[in-house]
Amino acid sequence: MEDNFKKGTTTVAIVCDKGVVLATDKRASAGYLIAHKNAQKLFKITESVGVACAGVVGDIQSLIGLLRAEANLYEMKDRKKISTKALAQLTSNILQGQRYYPLIAWLVLGGYDSNGAEAYSIDPIGGVNKDTMISTGSGSTIAYGLLEDRFRENMTIEEGIELSIRAINVAIQRDLATGDGIAVTIINSSGYKELSKKEIENVVVKVKNK
């Protein structure tokens, strides 16, 4: 059944003035089957870099484990943390090395370092694109409709959180493979932080009342 876990999801990344926001839904689907209602799609790679994922569950878990290991080895060898850009390139190299047996994993990688906040979209065969606003997965076309209208450069983290939740929420309303809740992570100078269910619910209420 795991081979049927395609990119049925919605992920969003928003680069803000002092950090980056990553958000996803929580539904894992296999065709028309809702396979899991609390799927993990946000992962911490280092204290300053995280990823939002769409794709095959096993491939994603394998790739995340490899990225964490490589990031730790880099830090031990070079005595400094790997940058967001370098980790994006490393991810690309790994996926390109799997060209004939590709890992079905589409990553949105975001982080905050000396270069500021950055976000990269990395496709299953290693293509990398840097942007300030990214969405992937089956609900991305719906999310982009809102993001194109509401996004602006140098948003605050709070504004980025609100917009990312709005984008995931509209995808939940219209995309069958997106649903069962929202997960949000912020990455800034303080590091990687996942918002609690209560914090997300408070923002959802605030957004609905606007």
What residues are annotated to the active site?
Answer: 9
Whether 167 and 135 have beta carbons less than 8 Å apart is answered as yes
- Burial track 41-60 (b if 16+ CB lie within 10 A, e otherwise): bbbbbbebbbbbbbbbbebb
Query: Which pLDDT value is given to residue 30?
Result: 76
Whether 121 and 128 have beta carbons less than 8 Å apart is answered as yes
Residues 64 and 137: their CA atoms lie apart, in Å, by: 18
Report the percent of the chain where pLDDT is more than 70.
96
pLDDT digits (tens, 9 = 90+) for 114-125: 999 999 999 999
Domains of the chain and any CATH numbers: 2-208 (3.60.20.10)
**11: pLDDT strictly greater than 70:** yes
pLDDT digits (tens, 9 = 90+) for 84-102: 999 999 999 999 988 777 8
**Alpha helix segments (H runs only) across 24-113:** 57-78, 84-97
pLDDT digits (tens, 9 = 90+) for 140-174: 999 999 999 999 999 999 999 999 999 999 999 99
Query: Which pLDDT value is given to residue 2?
Result: 38
Residues 91 and 18: their CA atoms lie apart, in Å, by: 24
